[in-house]
Amino acid sequence: MRLLNTRTLAFKQFFGRRPPYAILSHTWEGEEVSHQDVKDRIPSLQSKQGYRKIQESCRIAAEQKFEWAWVDTCCIDKTNNAELTESINSMFRWYQQAAACFVYLSDLPATGELKANLPNCRWFRRGWTLQELLAPEKVLFYDKAWNLRGTKDGLRP
């Protein structure tokens, strides 16, 4: 598993035992940052729309004392078919083993109650994200401005 250092945004590959890490759950949008973009530190990296998700999730992880984070768009080398296949097969376990999962809801307004607005979010309507809600023990929801809006435990009746 390849993780990002939350302070330097540099990769490190971990085999076997991994340090505590935060993981990002989100929906893909235009201009996501790829593994090659980060590895090669391409000049346009920071201007890509998806860079802010990486930057903000790493900032929040560092604030919560995590040295490592995982973001699917850049931590998986999608040009390597074997790695891509293994990553897809390992995804549930990676979310389950994360110390915290940050859910970024890019279409959640900064006002209103999370419980009432969550069903209208694109993230909530995607089948793929169900494992990202169920697998981790600690799930924190952030709105489009990266404000903490609630937790998985707070959604329980």
Alpha-carbon separation of residue 32 from 19, 83, 97, 105, 138 (angstroms): 26, 19, 25, 15, 25
* Reported pTM: 0.94
Alpha-carbon separation of residue 128 from 26, 53, 104, 123, 147 (angstroms): 10, 18, 14, 9, 23
pLDDT tens digits, the chain, 157 residues: what are they?
999 999 999 999 999 899 999 999 999 988 999 999 998 888 888 888 899 999 999 999 999 999 999 999 999 999 999 999 999 999 999 999 999 999 999 999 988 899 999 999 999 999 889 999 999 999 999 999 999 999 999 988 7
The first and second tokens of residue 115, run together, are 């419980």
**pLDDT at res. 148:** 97
